[in-house]
Amino acid sequence: MSTQRPTRRGILKAVAGTTATTALGAGGVLASASAAHAVGDGFGLRIVDRDERDPRMRYFRFATDAIGWNPGVNVLLPDGYHSGGRRYPVLYLFHGGGTGQDFITFDRMGIRAWTAGKPLIVVMPDGGAAGWYSNPVASNVGPRDWETFHIAQLLPWVDANFRTYAEYDGRAVSGFSMGGFGALKYAAKYYGHFASVSSHSGPASLRRDAGLVTHWANLSSAAVELGGGTVYGAPLWDEARVSADNPVQRVESYRNKRVFLVAGTSPDPVNWFDTVNETQVLAGQREFRGGLGAAGIAHEWHEVPGGHFVRPDLFRRDLDGIVARLRKA
């Protein structure tokens, strides 16, 4: 592990994305949740299923014009949320790709235990089996606008329905694999929304090695997400969109953020998927770290044995860093 220290102070600024740091309700009225506020519809989301019996884990499923099916979200509340009126910082936590991955992924892994006693709300939404946290160039199965769902709809909905800090210093974004890429992408494109960004085995370079990650995003999304459509366009890419989403081309957008990166150094040599994934992750994160270091942007990085899998110890370390960086409850 190593930490790069900045050589100069950057000035907080918005980069290629919305600069708003508060959530606006209908008619431009500031939306916020009171202590007894009932969770409801809004921001293009209509609740079609819910389970709020658990004192910490709340489940909701939405109908939305952004997605052609009803995506779900788990909202994990901190201990003591219901016994007081405090506001809390929020972590948006994104799952990886694959047909078995969804909004329940981190609950299966143990997120409740990892966050026990931590003053933090954790929001874990669906992102599609191969949605790549993007609005695709083409879909043959109806809308799959995951970026719109997460940023324009879910984020303000959370701020309106839970006691959050609807501001830059009140939000973090993190994820594993495809979700780690989504976290890096959103943190850069929507600079004013997230003060901390973490990528656990998430790719950070779309163009290296002849664009291997971009090709993989297109192939995987075509196969399991978009019915032959693609995230970035095929056979020719939407080059402007690739550049806008590519972390190594957005280095300055990470200034004044907490940046946390994890990559494995020894993927399983007999598992081609593990080898290809983590080898590319490691190379891309090293390229990204080089850019951050050259720009004097602080970042914490970990290269650890193993391949493409979640490392609970580093997630716990990351959670401690997130709580330390964000505004206190």
User: Over the stretch 291-313, which tens digit does the pLDDT of each residue have?
Assistant: 999 999 999 999 999 999 999 99
| DSSP result, 5-37 | PPSSPPPP---SS----S-B-GGG-B----TTP
58 DSSP assignment: E
H or E segment and range at residue 78: none
The sheet carrying 46-51 orders its strands as 2-4, 299-304, 258-264, 196-200, 171-176, 90-94, 121-125, 72-76, 57-63, 46-51
pLDDT at residue 16 in the model: 34
User: Considering only 8-12, 82-86, 158-162, 269-273, which range has the smallest mean pLDDT?
Assistant: 8-12
- As a whole number, the mean pLDDT across the chain is 91
H or E segment and range at residue 185: helix 178-189
292, 299 Cβ separation under 8 angstroms = yes
pLDDT at residue 22 in the model: 30
> Is the model's pLDDT at 243 over the cut of 50?
yes
Average pLDDT over residues 116-123: 98
pLDDT at residue 272 in the model: 87
193, 171 Cβ separation under 8 angstroms = yes
pLDDT at residue 164 in the model: 98
User: Considering only 8-12, 29-33, 311-315, which range has the smallest mean pLDDT?
Assistant: 8-12
User: Over the stretch 245-259, which tens digit does the pLDDT of each residue have?
Assistant: 999 999 999 999 999
Given its phi and psi angles, is residue 27 left (phi above 0), alpha (psi -120 to 50 degrees) or beta?
A: left
Distance, in Å, from the CA atom of 278 to the CA atom of 222, rounded to the nearest integer, reads 22
> Is the model's pLDDT at 107 over the cut of 70?
yes
Q: Quick one: what percent of the chain has pLDDT higher than 90?
A: 87
Average pLDDT over residues 217-221: 98
Active site residues: 177, 274, 308
> Is the model's pLDDT at 30 over the cut of 90?
no
Distance, in Å, from the CA atom of 131 to the CA atom of 322, rounded to the nearest integer, reads 25
> What's the pTM?
0.89
Distance, in Å, from the CA atom of 300 to the CA atom of 234, rounded to the nearest integer, reads 35
Average pLDDT over residues 215-244: 97
User: Over the stretch 139-152, which tens digit does the pLDDT of each residue have?
Assistant: 999 999 999 999 99
Average pLDDT over residues 266-275: 91
Distance, in Å, from the CA atom of 198 to the CA atom of 181, rounded to the nearest integer, reads 9
Percentages of the chain per state (helix, strand, coil), in multiples of 5: 35, 20, 45
> Is the model's pLDDT at 160 over the cut of 70?
yes
> Is the model's pLDDT at 88 over the cut of 80?
yes
pLDDT at residue 32 in the model: 46
> Is the model's pLDDT at 20 over the cut of 60?
no
pLDDT at residue 26 in the model: 31
> Is the model's pLDDT at 183 over the cut of 60?
yes
173, 146 Cβ separation under 8 angstroms = no
